[in-house]
Chains A and B, each alone.
Chain A
Amino acid sequence: MKEPALDLSPSPGDQVKTTTCYMCACRCGIKVWLKDAGPQGPTIRYIQGNAAHPVNRGVLCAKGASGIMQHYSPARLDKPLLRTGERGSGEFKEIEWEDALRIATDWLRPIRERNPDELAFFTGRDQSQALTGWWAQQFGTINYAAHGGFCSVNMAAGGLYTLGGSFWEFGEPDWEHTRYLMLWGVAEDHDSNPIKLGLGRLKARGAKIVAVNPVRSGYGAIADEWIGIRPGSDGLFAFALIHELLRADRIDLDYLVRYANAHWLVLRDPGGADDGLFARDAEGRPLCFDRNTGAPADANAIGITPAVVGEVALADGRHAVPAFQLVAERYLDPQYAPEAVSERCGIPADTIRRIARELAEAAFDSGLTLPVPWTDAWGREHPEMVGRPVAMHAMRGISAHSNGFHTCRALHLLQLLLGAVDAPGSFRYQPPFPKPIPPPNRPGRTRKDNGALDAPPLGFVHTPADLLVDAEGRPRRIDHAFSWAYPLAAHGMLHTVIRNAHAGDPHRIDTLLMFMANMSWNSAMNTAETMRWLTDRDEDGGYRIPRIIYSDAYASEMVAYADLVLPDTTYLERFDAISLLDRPISDADGAADAIRQPVLEAARQRAQDGKPRDVRGFQSVLLDLGARLGLPGMVDEDGAPLYRDYADYIVRHERAPGVGLLAGWRGEDGEQHGKGAPHPRQLQRYIDNGGFWREEVPEHARYFKMANRGYLEWARKLGFVGSAEPIVLQLYSETLQRFRLAAQGHGPHRPPPEHRERIAAYFDPLPIWYEPFEHDQTSREAFPLNAVTQRPMFMYHAWGSQNAWLRQIAARNYLYLHPDTAARHGLADEDWAVVASHHGQITAQVKFAGNVQPDTVWTWNAIGKRRGAWRLDKDAPEGSEGFLLNHLISDRLPRGDYANADPVTGQAAWFDLRVNLRKADGADQAQPQFPPLPYAPADPRPLRYGADLRARSKTR
């Protein structure tokens, strides 16, 4: 018998289109192969990574490679929906777009006329804040935010108020040169594929990887060393490392005086209004003490020999010490010795000492220099770049605690002491970062004559005067961001909106407009109450939150709580801009942005009932609504719409002269980059280039970006910074001290009495560590365990479960716990357990895993689903066995006085959760259960995707 004749070169498709993946926020470049499938138009044959793309270099993750199932998901919404039943019941009728837009306009117009703040516009997982934030500004509401407040604002703020850049998406380890990488509380992060690519490179090179994480899975699994830390104690661990480095004098003082404010003099005037502020000269320039001249000098001058310790008497008689001395005094204190923190952190003191030594060796003894001449910001030439090949990356394991802001600053302090910020081998900024510290844009606060806000609603608070509070010091925003309770809430606080809107605190709102956020389920704290607030009524019978407009692409749990549902397209059906004005996709060696283009036409796709899909991209809808409302910037003098749709806006809109959503191919002829007039064929240029634009940072400008003239000038040219002034890294934060002084009764803007103690305690200008609030406010005996979640690499929050392939990987979750912990609680493997917190209880099935710190239990995030949601069968495991920890997480602190959040930034403290466990006798399904949503279930027949495509491709 002969081998069968195989067609080894079947056509992979009739056409291929490049666009940007959106199965998560990593934004990889993809190539979508399409095959013609008759009247329905092209069908997806295959999605692969785009090898030319700077983010993913051709690789693809589990989600990205399941894009076919995401696009063809039976849970897609197909037409605008108007609520017919009770809110929350999930009963709707389909309506036409014209009606939907008219209804929305009718609801919004009076609000804008009456009081634009009565519109709360909150968006979730989107990457169109460059548009949505601007739209809110033009509408005139201060009540706008995206999801960053419950996500990672501790990292963003911790970094931006210290380094002018941050972990998260604003920086990356020097994958090419680092020899020592510490990963603090990272399971997956937004840079999914870049981190994996990077780890692969470190592995190939034999660099050491240390994972600090109560759980060892994923990245931790391949780390050389796992530090199974007790949750919430990373700050202490960092302090002990700092203590050891200071003790051994293994720190980079030259770096600290050159690039940071270590030598800046801090006034010592206990009780005075200037205590803890920097000593400044008449021009406001910070001072240092120059050992050469023996006198105070401009701290930013060059050619001086600044002192880093020693008290100085200033000409005016005041006393001051260099900031570094405050650092040294604080962290050399025996309370931060390895022995002293070991028990709380769950890390042996010897291990801490060894890690400190390894860090110092890697940073200082590696001899890494790059033979690249460069010029610093003061014009001095350097023949080479001296490396400090220790890199750190941290994310929500640090961020999602109520002490996360300070812990993040503690990590940055550790990096700074090692000279390991933007040096070869260390953490590196991704353009447009670094930015001035803090970034200059402050939150909008007043309305202009045309009704628009004076600035975008989100920004960075510099002083108490920037807060959004009323004359009595009460919050102005519905989420209480930028109030005395959460002054630096740079990303807003999506996690408090629904409670406050229900309570009318500080005021009632009329309409809640939400986009891409599953706020009745996995992105809510206190889930059951959230559902109640969404549906609760006033005495007069009306809903307390009168109207809810929501845009989703799929039949999520949240859809059921909307009055009007605006169905979005899938990510393969629309234009999008992945803009430098929003969340950049740059890497440390280049600035980049990208687009999404429709590779499939929504109208040629079929709905569940066989009719053509009738959906519109939300961004286009938003512009349409804006034009109908006559919002400034969206209509011309005659009131006619300025933009045809979002694609048109991407190309033609200018935020400032020459600045638009996309930085590539600007100017009349499309030859300018960064800034330039709109270029009519810009989108086509992107498409021709594989969907993205990238401009390399010149080689001499790639390190020490905060003080590298080559970089700063390049960045100024592209519009990333206003001037080429060096950016001084803030070891010691005067911004924080200003708030503390206000709390101590200084200055015109002072917190109301109830907030004073809190502000004074948590606005320490140097990093501090304190027990996460829930740990302290609950009994350690009653709730002895920490409970955390992790991102599964193969799911994106809630929206992976509708994916026929991804859900097979995990159709339900377990609560993982150490066998010793189980033994202590009388639990056997696969027992069902009641898990209780101070706030509530759930029932979940436990499973043993040795790879977790024994005081911690954990589960995969967002696997549990409400029955009926996402058009899964009512008996799907996601609903019957899957569960959420969110039911246990309170949105308020146990004491009830503040949100369950960081006191500086308002970041939601998801991971402060403390629980206890007991065996649940007789249980065989997860609790709590809610009434199933009545969405029509998906086609139960076997899915034979590709069967028809294959037949066509056969050549026999």
Chain B
Amino acid sequence: MHPAWSVIVFTTLSGAGYGLMVWLGALQWMGRFPVDGAPPWLWAALLLKGLVLSTLGLLSSMLHLGKPGRAWRAFSQWRTSWLSREGVLAVLTALVALALLAPAVLEAAMPRYRLALAPAATRTLLAALVAAPLLTVVCTAMIYASLKPIPAWRHRLVVPAYLAFALLSGAALLGAAQAVTAGAVPAAVAIAIAALALLTGALKWIYWRDIDRQALPVTRGDAIGLPGREPQVFERPHTEGNYLTREMGFVLARRHARKLRAIALFLFAALPALLAALALAVPAAALVALPAAAVAVLLGAMTERWLFFAQARHVVMLYY
């Protein structure tokens, strides 16, 4: 599949935003936020950041549309379409985040007024701040995982890996923010980053191993209605390219794939795990190590996302 940068950059960023929200919701719900030394506005600021990242993602995927002006129509088919569901949940997530941000925003804007949410409401919203982004990420992953013509995306680890990436990049952003604002991070955060990095690495490693072994479930013979025979292409319908060959016909040389996978694994798994370990061992290093880890995770995730597209073969290319 053609790896479109708009989709890659912004699924990565919105994933990170959603991951961050999940962490913020969970930690607040458990009363584990803020961290010592961090400013009191950090939670709200981070939530805002998560919102911005995820909204950027949505906006960019809109720019990728042929008719962005009609994007509103995409909310209508939530009963069947994962893309529609993603849209609906993304909006829901944004509403939850806005609701939670409202008191802080109001206070900042009009210090004389205070808006206090009822504790029950807050707890419900916090629970929603965990669930809604997670579900949004699941929907995103399901857009791909539901496509039968692209067997690599049907793999059982696609949804887990999307979730893992969201949580990993969310954790990495959180860790980085805490390190920068508080000068240190709780050991749990560093451990979480390292563990998630290794887990994500493992997931991807298994995924890659599997798709390398996976044959397409159909053959060119099946594609032309002559199962069991082995057709070779004699002539394409058109000597020059077309929408299909450009959109689905992207082929990545194996050699490049191996190199890029190694780079990706290093960036989103090995390096962040090492940097988190460093932050654990030498707390003073966290100030540098964790932001670096966050950058590495995002770059690694982007590389991985590029590979996710570039290495997925669409069965339609059997015709070519």
Contacts and interface: CB of A to CB of B under 8 A. Distances in A.
Contacts of A810: 238-239
Interface residues of A, number: 11
8 contacts: A1-B76, A808-B240, A809-B238, A810-B238, A810-B239, A811-B239, A849-B234, A851-B234
A877 B239 contact: yes
Contacts of B239: 809-812, 877
Contacts of A877: 239-240
A663 B95 CA distance: 83
A928 interface: no
Nearest to A816: B234
A809 B237 CA distance: 6
A217 B234 CA distance: 10
A810 B240 CA distance: 8
Nearest to B234: A849
Interface string A831-861: 0000000000000000001110000000000
B255 to A, nearest CB: 18
B240 A850 contact: no
Interface in B56-93: 76
Interface string A866-891: 00000000000100000000000000
| 10 nearest A-B residue pairs (beta carbon) | A808-B238, A810-B239, A811-B239, A811-B240, A812-B239, A849-B234, A809-B238, A877-B240, A851-B234, A808-B240
Interface string B231-256: 01010011110000000000000000
A207 to B, nearest CB: 23
A850 B231 CA distance: 11
Interface residues of B, number: 7
B70 to A, nearest CB: 14
Contacts of B76: 1
Contacts of B232: 850
Contacts, number: 18
Interface of B: 76, 232, 234, 237-240
A770 B234 CA distance: 34
Interface string A809-820: 111100000000
Interface string A1-41: 10000000000000000000000000000000000000000
Given A808-B238, A809-B239, A811-B239, 5 more contacts: A808-B240, A809-B237, A810-B238, A811-B238, A811-B240
B235 to A, nearest CB: 8
A929 B232 CA distance: 32
B156 to A, nearest CB: 34
Nearest to B232: A850
Interface string A172-194: 00000000000000000000000
A812 B238 CA distance: 10
Contacts of A849: 234
Contacts of A1: 76
Contacts of A851: 234
A193 B90 CA distance: 57
Interface in A219-255: none
A808 B234 CA distance: 17
Contacts of B238: 808-811
A1 B75 CA distance: 13
Contacts of A809: 237-239
With most chain A CB atoms within 10 A of its CB, the pick from B232, B234, B239 is B239
Contacts of A850: 232
A809 B234 CA distance: 14
A97 B237 CA distance: 43
A812 B239 CA distance: 7
Nearest to A819: B232
A549 B256 CA distance: 59
B225 to A, nearest CB: 16
A918 B103 CA distance: 79
A784 B237 CA distance: 32
Interface in A189-221: 217
Contacts of B240: 808, 811, 877
B251 to A, nearest CB: 15
Most buried by A among B237, B238, B240: B240
Contacts of B234: 217, 849, 851
